[in-house]
Every structure is written in structure tokens, then in C-alpha cells.
Structure 1
Amino acid sequence: MAREDYCESLTELRDGVESMAKTVLTQLRQALESLEDGDETLARKVIDNDEIVNERYLDLEGDCINLLALQQPVASDLRFVAASFKILTDLERIGDLATNLARYALAGASRAFSKVDIHRIGDEVRNQVQAAIDAYVADDTDACRTIDTRDDEIDALCQRASEAVVRELIAREADAWGIEQLLDDVSRVLLTIRDLERIGDHAVNVAARTHYMVENDPELIY
């Protein structure tokens, strides 16, 4: 492969990661909308489209493997390909978690505990993912550090939301026939909060790999 073609392949890989991220962000946005609005049609669309994310992931994974095996990149190019490979894995997992959220929406998770602000947590998490991808595209290490710091705020939001669920559960009264349904509702809401927090963690992973890619510094990874 000529040097010009090799450089073009690296550019295409970056563009491919960005394109997959846009698809995943659309999945996440629609999953959050289905949770907020109880839109079953939109929730099913997210679930059906997960296969598109998976196929795109496998295609780009193959591109990374080909670059590593056939071109044997060194130094900054090697870090770029390796980081992109890891970031693709995080994006695929975010896509899976968005599918989980859509399934929770079908089960009525957002309507079970009205005092839990899933919408706010979802917005914060989606902004984190967008910021992480923007940092990757722009090689912006300052943004990577900001993303890492802001993750503590998201963790705190999720902790408070989980505590609110428990407090509301304690305050509720349910007869014997309603206990099973109540516990199902609690489980779904807590899983929703947990998965949103995990999406935030994946955004931090993207930022950490980008920081390492640009600075050759594993500070944010560990």
C-alpha cells in the first residue's frame, strides 16, 4: 500500500468511528425519548436497529485488524489504530445499553417512579458521549480531562436517583397482590439508572483512549 493510500485509510478509519458514533448517539437519543414519552414504536425501532450498529462495528474492527496486520503502524499511528479499536468497542457497548433502555421503556420503567429524573441523567450522559467523540475527532486532550472529571457528577446524579427510588419504595403501601409488580418496577428503574451510569463510564473510556492516543500518556486509563 502506497503512503498516500495508507494515510487515506487512517482518515477513513477516523471518519468511520465518527460515523458509528453518530449512529449510536441517535440510538441513545431515541431510547431516552422512548423512556420519557412511553413511545413503544420508537423503542422497538431502537431495538431493531441494534443490528446495524453491530454490523458497522464488525466492519470497522476488520479495518483496524487489517491496518495492524498489513501495515504494521508504529508510534502515533499505532496508538491511533489501537485507540480507535478500543473506542469502537465502547461505542458498540453503548449501543447495547441503548437497546436495554428501549426495552425498559417497553416495560414502563419511566412511569414507575415519577420522582426519579431519568431525563436529566440521560441528557448528561448523552452530552458526555458526544463530548468524548468530539474530543477524539479533534485530538482534544483538554476536553478528555474535563470528561473524566464530569463523570463524578454523573455518578452522583445516579446515586441520588437510586436513593430516591428506595425512599419512594419505603413510603409506598402495597397489598400482597401489588408487591410483585412493585418489585418489578423497582428493578427496572434501578437497571435504567445503572445502565445510564455505565454509558457515562464508556464515554470516559473513549476520552481516556483519546488522551493516550494523542499524548502517549495512560493517566486517564488507570
Structure 2
Amino acid sequence: MARTDYQEQLDALRSDVLEMSDLVIERYEIALKSLESKDESLAREVIEGDQRINELYLELESDCIDLFALQQPVAGDLRFVASSFKIITDLERIGDLSTNLAGYALDAERERYPEVDVVYIGTEAGAMVSDAVDAYRHDDAESAREIADRDDKIDRLCGDASGVVIEDLLRTEYSDTDKEMMDDVSRLLLTIRDLERVADHAVNFCARTVYIADHDTELIY
């Protein structure tokens, strides 16, 4: 009976991690919509909902600690619990990044660089997260490796987007007192940086899935 209860705890942990993933992805997608539409109500929904993500993180952290302390998992089970703990940490950070994006949406009143499509970049990064979660769901190491490779595309998109902004700054004479312009530039560069970090967290998911499934640390860094 004890072994059955233990397996139920492991199954429940995976289920709860996936539930947290669904919530984080939902909040992230709403944040992207708020960034695109400058919809204040959507932005505030993300910001005010961050507390629930933090609460879920703490609950799952406690579950992982209990499994470590009370069940003392070994081998594959140990890799699963440890990796799940790392994944919820990445999820919590994506929640924080979503809150950042919503905050940028509240502050942005204009599109100074319409040629920089942050929503497209964000959608591609979000797809990486969703696919990485599915790989974790199925212990699919092969898919996880393929998803991680997509990070190169996100890096290129973010590099190109940042380059547009920096090149404009270099070729245009702005006054040191043009605070509005500097605020816009800073906000856009922060948006690009945060979207790149979202994709990085998806790579972390993939690394942990490969570790669970194949006991391979190749993507962990």
C-alpha cells in the first residue's frame, strides 16, 4: 500500500506541475495580447493574477520537499522530482516575466518602432514553452531536444530587434533631455530581453525532460 501511495504522489506531482503550466501559459498569452492591444484591463488581469502563480509555486515546492524528505526517492524517481522542482521554478519566473510584459503594456502609449514585431517574437517563445510542457508531460526526450534547438531562432529574432533600436539611436541625434524617447527605447529593449528569457526557460524545461527520460545532462547549463 505504501508503494501505491508513493506512486500516486508522483503522479499527482506531474499533474500539478502541468496544471501550473496551463495557468502560466494562459497568463503569458494574455500578457502578449495586452502588449499588442494596450488593453489596460488585460494587463491588470495578468499583474493581479501573479499572486496565484506564486502560491502554486510554494505549494508544489512543499510537495517536492516532502517527497525528498519522507520518501527519499532514488534513481529515476529522484530525477523526476528534482527536475519537476526546477521546472516549477522556471514556470514561476515566466509568470514574473508575464507581469513585466503587462507592466510595459500599461506604460506604452505609442509604437516608436512598429517594424519590431515583439508579439511575433513572443508568440514563437510561447510556442516553445507550450511544446516543452508537452514534452515533459510525455517524457519525450527527442521532442525536447528539437524544441531546445528552436531557441537559436528566438535569439536571432531578439538580436535583430535590438539591432533595429540600437542602429536608430546611433544614426539619429536625440537630446539628452528627451526622456519620453528614452523611456520608449528602454521599455522596448526590456521587452525583447524578457521574451528571450521566456524562451530560455523553455530550454530549461527541455533540459530537465531529457534528464528525466534519458538520464542525460547535455542540455543542462
Report the TM range for the smaller structure's normalisation: over 0.9
Q: Retained in 2: the 8 A contact 1:144–1:211?
A: yes
Provide, for residues 69-123 of structure 1, a one-character-per-residue CA deviation record: whole Å limited to 9, x for no partner.
0000111011000000000000000000000000011011772321111111011
Find the counterpart in structure 2 of residue 6 from structure 1: 6
Find the counterpart in structure 1 of residue 81 from structure 2: 81
1:43-122 residue pairs with structure 2 within 5 A? Answer: 43-108=43-108, 111-122=111-122
Residue identity (%): 55
Does residue 123 of the first structure (1) align with residue 123 of the second (2)? Answer: yes
What's the C-alpha RMSD, in Å, of the aligned pairs? 1.5
Find the counterpart in structure 2 of residue 39 from structure 1: 39
CA distance in 2, matches of 1:110, 1:59: 40
Specify the SS of the correspondent of 2:144: helix
Find the counterpart in structure 2 of residue 143 from structure 1: 143
Normalized against structure 2, the TM-score is what?
0.96
Find the counterpart in structure 2 of residue 209 from structure 1: 208
Specify the SS of the correspondent of 1:111: coil
CA distance in 2, matches of 1:127, 1:62: 29
CA distance in 1, matches of 2:37, 2:167: 24
- Segments of structure 1 that go 5 or more residues without pairing to the other structure are none
Q: Retained in 2: the 8 A contact 1:109–1:188?
A: no
Normalized against structure 1, the TM-score is what?
0.95
Query: How far is the alpha carbon of 1:167 from its aligned partner?
Result: 2.8
* Equivalences, count: 221
Provide, for residues 18-72 of structure 1, a one-character-per-residue CA deviation record: whole Å limited to 9, x for no partner.
0000000011000000000010110011000000000000001100000010000
Q: Retained in 2: the 8 A contact 1:24–1:94?
A: yes
- Segments of structure 2 that go 5 or more residues without pairing to the other structure are none
Q: 1:109 to 1:69 in 2, by over 3 A?
A: farther
CA distance in 1, matches of 2:175, 2:131: 46
